[in-house]
Amino acid sequence: MPKALNTAKAPSKGFAKRKKNLILLSMVAPGAIWLILLRYIPMFGIVIAFKDYKFYSKNPTFINNIIHSDWVGLKNFEFLFTTTDSWVMIRNTIGYNMLWIGLGLVISVAFALMLNEITNKFVAKAHQTLMFFPYFLSWIVVSYFVMAFLDPTRGLLPHLFKDWGLEPVNWYQDPKPWPLILTISNLLKNTGYSTILYLAAITGIDKSQYEAAAIDGATRWKQIIYITIPCIKPMIAVLLIMNLGKVFNSDFGLFFTVPKNSGPLFPTTQTIDTYVHRAIFATGSMGMSAAASLLQNIVGFVFLMGANTIVRKIDEDSSLF
Amino acid sequence: MNNSKNMIKYDRAKRNKRLNKISIPAEIIINIILGAFCLLCVIPFIFVIIISFTSENSIRENGFSFIPAEWSLQAYEFVFELGDQLWRSYFNSFYITILGTLLSVLICVLYSYALFRTDFKYRKFFTFFCFFTMLFGGGLAPTYVVSKQLLGLSDNYSAMIVPALLSPFNVIIMRTFFQTSIPTELIEAAAIDGSGEYNTLFRIVTPIAKPGIATVALLYALAYWNDWYLAMLYVKDASKIPLQYLLMQTQNSVDYLLKNSSQIGAGVVKELSKLPQDSLRMALVVLIVIPIACAYPFFQRYIISGLTVGSVKG
């Protein structure tokens, strides 16, 4: 009887399968169309990086503009490697990223470990809530926070400096203190986020391991080093890979709004992303902007793959893919 | 007597329970360190609130201060009298956030549900199709031109919604959520009972995946609420700008706030000269952060669960 049922159903099974796949395709469709329109079509626009992009006066649509612009080969890239401007922005992007990946890792792992040691759950929850809060604010709001402290005429710091008889610093004109200001802003806004990720990994560790270690006489410190840290290593690796993949990218909002778009600060605040933006909207050099984006993409891709391979060599389970 | 002795014994046992905890002084130090960091996280916001309640005269004389010489509601009075632009932007922000979140969640749930179905023939292809865009993209210049010329995203609400409709990261979170909470047998059973695919998704799967959907919805809502970049790129019309971009504009000049005022005319010019510039700016910040600050304690839990699910394995 079951056999007969199977054979009777066989032809309609293929049909059902096809129907199911079609329905599932219809579910993917809205997202896929979006991806094509807003992600894949612009990828063809990368050719701008190899062209001297100009408006085609007769019919200035995007495609016409591209077709009628001259090929210039790698000239747009030459700029990226020859001028001091580009050296500054590449140095800033990589420098800040490396510094923040390192600092962020150490601080947020340390905070997560500390939060885990707090016996009063209510206090731990309160710490967690407060330190996660700035993550939900936009950079515009943060830029106002920074301005409240640094504004040349009203700000708290200039007034304190005056009261203490210190030499006044024009914060929005002097690039020197900005690495510190940006680092503090970034740490305050993002530490809570990664702390919570690590904390979640720590709370997921099997408690019996600690009990066993305690019975064997391991101190709490030893337990952290020999149980907690090895257990959260995969999490550290994943976040590290993802961050290294973005080493050529920067948080546009931070670098654009917090220094209030101030020109004299560019030596320490210009990054590739802010350059890409300014190249389009301030200087109108589409080609160079596209070249910088492309370089950013390729380097990011290489870094991501590289970091992933290295992690896989060291510890296969920790790698991302 | 005996009883109290027992109590002491019990207390001692309790203290010994700290055996596998750090010592009390160490915990105090930890609390001080974390407390200090938490203070640093909220002090700027408190400072801005204080400034918004400071009178303009006192700001002019002493600058921004934690202990103002003179408190005042001036800034808020101005906002409520002349703040038509502010209310307009409030409306825009809510409109964009609600509509955008609804559409985004729908697209995200549909897409990730198909990716979750192991029996979907093109599953691998569409997984790659989505996640590849996280690794590689056209860059700002082509995206901007395509959006503006091909899709007509300029000076309309869709310019602030369409470019943010899909986020591969949220698709990862949603798919992982389906994978961990929906047993495959359930879907098979539904299919045998004759439930259509859409029926299975919306009647059976969605109710189970509610926490995951809430997480994704919150992430999208936050992204829409906090967005100013899309408005900066595509929108010039003051009647369509959202709060965050309004805030960015007023950084240069507070006058922007009066753009849509109904009381345009001689009165405004007079008012303009009395405008409490600095406290007004900070009052705006406060009014923008308040919705988030109020909702934050409630949505925090969902965000945390979502982020931990999404980032454990991509």
pLDDT in tens, A161-192: 888 888 888 888 889 999 999 999 999 999 99
DSSP conformation class of B258 = G
Stated as kind and residue range, the H or E segment containing B10 is: helix B2-16
When pLDDT is cut at 50, 70 and 90, the band that residue A2 belongs to is: very low
Q: Do B262 and B117 sit in the same domain of this protein? A: yes
**% of residues, chain B, pLDDT over 70:** 84
Look at the block and give the residue holding tokens 């391979």. Answer: A309
Average pLDDT over residues B270-294: 81
Q: Do B235 and B269 sit in the same domain of this protein? A: yes
Cα–Cα distance for residue pair A190/A250, rounded to 1 Å: 13
- Per the CB < 8 Å rule, is A293 touching B171? no
End-to-end CA distance of chain A: 47
When pLDDT is cut at 50, 70 and 90, the band that residue B135 belongs to is: confident
Please report, as a single letter, which amino acid is at residue B226. Answer: N
Q: Taking a C-beta distance cutoff of 8 angstroms, is the pair A99, A186 a contact?
A: no
Instruction: State residue A187's pLDDT score.
Output: 94
Residue B32 in any domain: the answer is yes
- Per the CB < 8 Å rule, is B21 touching A277? no
Structure token pair of residue B229: 């970049």
The torsion defined by the Cα of A260, A261, A266 and A272, in degrees rounded to 10, comes to 120
pLDDT tens by residue, A207-231:
898 989 988 888 888 999 999 999 8
Query: What count of residues does chain A have?
Result: 321
Q: Do B89 and B220 sit in the same domain of this protein? A: yes
Identify the three-state secondary structure at position A172. coil
Q: Do B9 and B90 sit in the same domain of this protein? A: no
pLDDT above 70 (res B257): no
Domain A78-318 CATH class label: mainly alpha
Closest chain A CA to residue B198: A23
pLDDT tens by residue, A135-163:
999 999 999 999 999 988 888 888 888 88
Instruction: State residue A142's pLDDT score.
Output: 94
Residue B62 in any domain: the answer is no
Partners of A52 in beta bridges: A70
Instruction: State residue B181's pLDDT score.
Output: 86
Stated as kind and residue range, the H or E segment containing A154 is: none
Q: Do B215 and B107 sit in the same domain of this protein? A: yes
Residue B157 in any domain: the answer is yes
Cα–Cα distance for residue pair A220/A227, rounded to 1 Å: 10
Q: Give the range of the structural domain holding residue B16, as residue numbers without chain letter.
A: 2-52
Q: Do B32 and B106 sit in the same domain of this protein? A: no
pLDDT tens by residue, A83-94:
778 888 889 999
Q: Taking a C-beta distance cutoff of 8 angstroms, is the pair A320, A258 a contact?
A: no
Residue B72 in any domain: the answer is no
**Is beta strand A51-52 parallel, antiparallel or unpaired with respect to A70-71?**
antiparallel
Q: Do B39 and B87 sit in the same domain of this protein? A: no
pLDDT tens by residue, B189-205:
998 888 888 999 999 99
**Mean pLDDT of the residues in chain A:** 86
The alpha carbon of residue A209 and the mean position of all alpha carbons in its chain are separated, in whole angstroms, by 35
pLDDT above 70 (res A5): no
When pLDDT is cut at 50, 70 and 90, the band that residue B176 belongs to is: confident
Residue B70 in any domain: the answer is no
Instruction: State residue B314's pLDDT score.
Output: 38
**Mean pLDDT of the residues in chain B:** 84
DSSP conformation class of B54 = B
Residue of A141, A202, A262 to mutate when probing chain B, most B C-beta within 10 A? A141
Based on its alpha-carbon atoms, the radius of gyration of chain B, rounded to whole angstroms, reads 27
CATH number assigned to the domain comprising residue B253: 1.10.3720.10
Residue B67 in any domain: the answer is no
pLDDT above 80 (res B170): yes
Cα–Cα distance for residue pair B212/B304, rounded to 1 Å: 11
Instruction: State residue A189's pLDDT score.
Output: 93
Q: Which residues contact A206 (CB under 8 A, 6 or more apart)?
A: none
- Per the CB < 8 Å rule, is B37 touching A136? no
pLDDT tens by residue, A262-308:
888 989 999 989 988 888 888 778 888 888 888 888 888 888 888 88
Please report, as a single letter, which amino acid is at residue A122. Answer: F
Instruction: Quote the minimal CA–CA distance from B262 to chain A in Å.
Output: 27
Cα–Cα distance for residue pair A193/A134, rounded to 1 Å: 9
Instruction: State residue A9's pLDDT score.
Output: 47
Exposure of A36 in the CB half-sphere (CA atoms within 13 A): 7
Exposure of A240 in the CB half-sphere (CA atoms within 13 A): 20
- Per the CB < 8 Å rule, is B197 touching A41? no
Closest chain A CA to residue B59: A154
> Where is the domain boundary, B11, B35, B52?
B52
Query: Domain spans of chain A?
Result: 2-71, 78-318
Identify the three-state secondary structure at position A113. helix
Nearest by CB to residue A24, choosing from B120, B139, B222, is B120
Q: Do B163 and B47 sit in the same domain of this protein? A: no
Cα–Cα distance for residue pair A169/A151, rounded to 1 Å: 11
pLDDT above 90 (res B107): yes
Average pLDDT over residues B15-19: 56
pLDDT above 70 (res A232): yes
- Per the CB < 8 Å rule, is A158 touching B110? no
pLDDT tens by residue, A32-46:
999 999 999 999 888
Instruction: Quote the minimal CA–CA distance from B256 to chain A in Å.
Output: 16
Residue B144 in any domain: the answer is yes
Instruction: State residue A6's pLDDT score.
Output: 47
Distances in Å between the alpha carbon of B193 and those of A8, B116, B190, B197? 18, 21, 5, 12
Q: Which residues contact A62 (CB under 8 A, 6 or more apart)?
A: A45, B145, B146, B149, B150
Q: Do B249 and B166 sit in the same domain of this protein? A: yes
Cα–Cα distance for residue pair A125/B297, rounded to 1 Å: 11
Partners of A188 in beta bridges: none
pLDDT above 70 (res B313): no
Instruction: State residue A191's pLDDT score.
Output: 93
Stated as kind and residue range, the H or E segment containing A52 is: strand A51-52
Structure token pair of residue A312: 């896989």
The DSSP code sequence of A215-226 is HTT--HHHHIII
pLDDT tens by residue, B66-88:
888 888 888 888 888 777 888 88
Q: Do B175 and B28 sit in the same domain of this protein? A: no
Number of independent structural domains in chain B: 2
- Per the CB < 8 Å rule, is B285 touching A141? yes
